């Protein structure tokens, strides 16, 4: 918590060897398995610019609408398309990068594609 991954060391392009963070300097964090669960936009699990939505740590494949004008709809309280953008996985839950399965990286939580539309859900409860 309160730390940020600054570098990923890859063994091949389909296996994560180690992570380096801001707080831990040159100490490599190594493991047999890694689980990516960094959430969506608010927690910076996903980031966006004017052209694309991307996953900033590993560069995992993200499913998003390529036409920028279709990311949002005018009605603020309606289901927003961008809320269902997220990371794609294999059937077993492995992350994908450039279409290839990352053998030791699993993905879970809000960062996954097909997420719920929080504003719509919460506002339905209130209204």
Partner 1 sequence: MMEANPLYPGPKQAGPDGLRYRIKDSAFFDNALKYCLNCKRCEVACPSGVKVGDIVARAKIKYGHSQHKMRDLMLSSTDLVGGMATTFAPIVNLALSLGITKSMLDSTFGVSAHASMPKYASKRFEQWFKKVKAHQEGYSRFVEYFHGCYVNYNYPQLGQDFVTLMNACGYGVHILEKQKCCGVALIANGFASQATSAAKTNLASIRKASQPVLTTSSSCTLTIKEEYSTILDQDTSDIQSKVQMAVKWLYDRIERGEVRLAFRKDFKMKAAYHTPCHLQKLGNQIYSIALLRMIPGLDLKVLEQKCCGISGTFGFKKENYAISQKIGSQLYERIYAANPEVVITDCETCKWQIEGACGIPVFNPISILVQALDIEQTTKLNER
Please report, as ranges, the residues that interact with partner 1 according to CB under 8 A.
Answer: 1-4, 21, 23-27, 42-44
Nearest to 35 by CA among 84, 91, 95: 95
Q: Which two tokens stand for residue 84?
A: 């269902």
Min dist CB 65 to partner 1, Å, is: 25
Min dist CB 3 to partner 1, Å, is: 5
CB nearer to partner 1: pick between 43 and 118: 43
CB nearer to partner 1: pick between 31 and 78: 31
CB nearer to partner 1: pick between 23 and 69: 23
Nearest to 5 by CA among 25, 19, 26: 19
Min dist CB 18 to partner 1, Å, is: 11
Min dist CB 45 to partner 1, Å, is: 10
Contact (CB, 8 A) for 96 and 103: no
């Amino acid at each position: 918590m309160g730390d940020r991954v600054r570098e990923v060391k890859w063994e091949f392009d389909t296996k994560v060897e180690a992570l380096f963070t801001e707080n831990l300097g040159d100490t490599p964090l190594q493991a047999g398995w890694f689980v990516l669960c960094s959430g969506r936009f608010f927690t910076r699990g996903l980031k966006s610019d004017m052209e694309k939505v991307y996953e900033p740590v590993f560069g995992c494949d993200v499913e998003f609408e390529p036409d920028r004008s279709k990311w949002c709809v005018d009605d603020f309280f309606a289901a927003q398309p961008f809320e269902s953008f997220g990371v794609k996985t294999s059937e077993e839950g492995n992350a994908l990068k450039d279409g290839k399965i990352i053998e030791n990286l699993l993905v879970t939580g809000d960062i996954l594609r097909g997420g719920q539309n929080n504003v719509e859900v919460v506002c339905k409860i209130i209204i």
